[in-house]
Amino acid sequence: MTTETPRVFISYSHDSANHKLRVLELANRLRAEGIDARIDRYTSFPPEGWPRWMRSQIDEADAVLVVCTEIYRERFDGTDSTTKGAGARWEGLILTQSLYEDLSRNVSRFIPVLFDENPLDAIPISFRPFTHFKLPGDYEGLYRVLTNQPEVEVPLLGKMRGLPPRHLAMENMLPVISPGADTDIGAKPDRPINPGDSWGGRNAASIEVLRERWSAGRLTLVLGAGVSISSGLPTWFELIRDLLVSYIRRTYGETLNSEAIARLSEAFADEFRGASPIQTAEFIQSRMPRPDFMEMVKTSLYRQASAHSGSDALLDAIVLLHEGLHGIVSFNFDDIVEEALTARAIEFTTVIEGRDLSRIRGMPIYHPHGFLPRAGKGSEEIVFAESQYHTQYAEGFNWTNVIVQRLLLESTCLFVGTSLSDPNLRRMLDLAHRQNISQRHYFATVNSRRGADDLRQALDEIMQASYEAIGIVPVWLHSFEEIPMCLSAIRAS
């Protein structure tokens, strides 16, 4: 139990006289039971003005209760078309800023509460990851949190038992995390990698962590180009090459015959072979209007891919995880995940810009680099060229950076089909790791195949050390074909 009087600020909207009365009764009850609760109705008119008063109340509070209603959410998100509710709007701006100024401290301070008749959708998207309380039924639980009085006390630590070494089958492993834990313990491979091991045996601890996080709804999948390639979409090199050919046909089609265009395309491809794909994309994009470039990328992206038929093992494994996923981050432009979810009547929301965050229903699928669906409206711009990567890197408060950073802090991420080479992503991983050094994320990757066994093990250990520096635990596989098996193991009971 805390020995100091906790200070609590209650943020709410003036929906109706009855709602204001219920909030006042909540504040009065908290004060009567030893909690220094503050609401605007205890102050007739602050001399510093309401905006500064709100800011100081939020900054000085040990906890902020966010009383969620549909009206509060709309005013908080700025989607309410009326001119009422300036207080909730101001508090929404201040709360959002407070969230991202010091994520490691503020996350535990913000507590969504709802009166019984309000749906969970009334919680603003920024607060949905946090534990919420339904009143009046959950009042005791809320009071325990505010006064630091857990329902179950931590038992005394006993003496560690000594056990002889042995390697158990994955299905016989005991859980490495107690149910209900909010952060993982950073499990690492229990011994140096042996190329002869089964992938399940050496990754058992990691799979158990991922399984627990999935069961708790705290697992986020981060998807890279490898997922799209498995569904028949082009590799980066193939996409760039196709764009080069399309650019040459567009530029020289009226003056050169098909044979000359083929020779010129090959010459261009050789010239750019050593260049970074995003540098090549910069060249192509700079030579044509943006709408034309976007249409060209979309055409090249889906040129050889038919609509998803449900036969892709990796995509099927991803879809089967949907019930326990916190969300999906796809750095790909395509809509193959959305198509697969639609085919199974699974609710989701594709997030391609900041305003999409206020309308999320079902599982969110974030596309930080843009979205180009086969049909329908997609992003007006994609992050494809070098200058666009630089712009996204420099804009720290760009919604994509904020969301990815938030997911790294509030959930456990499993990276699939990506090389983890994006410097902006690695920067965010490093930043999140510095704020919570106990948090770990996981990376499905293939161990080195080059050289003798001792050389392969040395290369893998070097890579593992580089991953650990940014809080990444590798899930070592013999081949990418084992990734669906890995995802299926997470769902195993």
Q: Indicate which CATH number applies to the domain containing 134.
A: 3.40.50.11530
245 assigned to some structural domain: yes
156 assigned to some structural domain: no
- Chosen domain end from 103, 129, 146: 146
Give yes or no: residues 248 and 351 share one domain: no
165 assigned to some structural domain: no
CATH code for position 409: 3.40.50.1220
Give yes or no: residues 85 and 112 share one domain: yes
- Chosen domain end from 131, 146, 161: 146
- Chosen domain end from 302, 329, 356: 302
Number of domains in the chain: 3
Give yes or no: residues 215 and 342 share one domain: yes
Give yes or no: residues 351 and 469 share one domain: yes
Give yes or no: residues 244 and 365 share one domain: no
Give yes or no: residues 296 and 315 share one domain: no
pLDDT tens digits in sequence order for the chain, 493 residues long: 556 899 999 999 988 999 999 999 999 999 999 999 999 999 988 888 887 888 889 889 999 999 999 988 888 776 655 545 455 555 556 666 655 555 445 557 889 999 988 998 899 887 887 889 999 999 999 999 999 999 888 888 888 888 766 543 333 333 332 333 333 333 333 333 343 445 556 788 899 999 999 999 999 999 999 898 888 898 888 888 888 888 888 887 777 788 887 787 777 767 666 667 777 788 888 888 888 889 999 998 998 765 444 458 899 999 999 999 999 999 999 999 999 999 999 999 999 998 898 899 999 999 999 999 998 889 988 988 778 877 777 776 788 888 998 999 999 999 999 888 887 888 889 988 888 888 899 999 887 555 556 676 777 677 778 888 899 998 988 888 889 999 999 987 5
380 assigned to some structural domain: yes
Three-class secondary structure assignment of the chain:
CCCCCCEEEEECCCCCHHHHHHHHHHHHHHHHCCCEEECHHHCCCCCCCHHHHHHHHHHHCCEEEEECCHHHHHHHHCCCCCCCCHHHHHHHHHHHHHHHHCHHHHHHHEEEEEECCCCHHHCCHHHCCCCCEEECCCHHHHHHHHCCCCCCCCCCCCCCCCCCCCCCCHHHCCCCCCCCCCCCCCCCCCCCCCCCCCHHHHCHHHHHHHHHHHHCCCEEEEECHHHHHCCCCCCHHHHHHHHHHHHHHHHHCCCCCHHHHHHHHHHHHHHHCCCCHHHHHHHHHCCCCHHHHHHHHHHHHHCCCCCCCCCCHHHHHHHHCHHHEEEEEECCCCCHHHHHHHHCCCCEEEECCHHHHHHCCCEEEECCCCCCCCCCCCCCCCCCCHHHHHHHHHCCCCHHHHHHHHHHHHCEEEEECCCCCCHHHHHHHHHHHHHCCCCCEEEEEECCCCCCHHHHHHHHHHHHHHHHCCCEEEEEECCHHHHHHHHHHHHCC
Cβ neighbors of 305 (< 8 A, separation 6 or more) are 231, 232, 233
The burial of 50, by beta-carbon neighbours within 10 Å (0-12 exposed, 13-18 middle, 19 or more buried), is given as middle
Give yes or no: residues 324 and 450 share one domain: yes
Structure-block tokens of residue 184: 């993982």
102 assigned to some structural domain: yes
Q: What is the pLDDT of residue 315?
A: 92
Give yes or no: residues 335 and 298 share one domain: no
Give yes or no: residues 68 and 191 share one domain: no
155 assigned to some structural domain: no
Q: What is the pLDDT of residue 419?
A: 84
pTM score of the predicted model: 0.59
Give yes or no: residues 283 and 392 share one domain: no
Give yes or no: residues 313 and 285 share one domain: no
408 assigned to some structural domain: yes
338 assigned to some structural domain: yes
Give yes or no: residues 321 and 196 share one domain: yes
Task: State the residue range of the domain holding 289.
Answer: 236-302
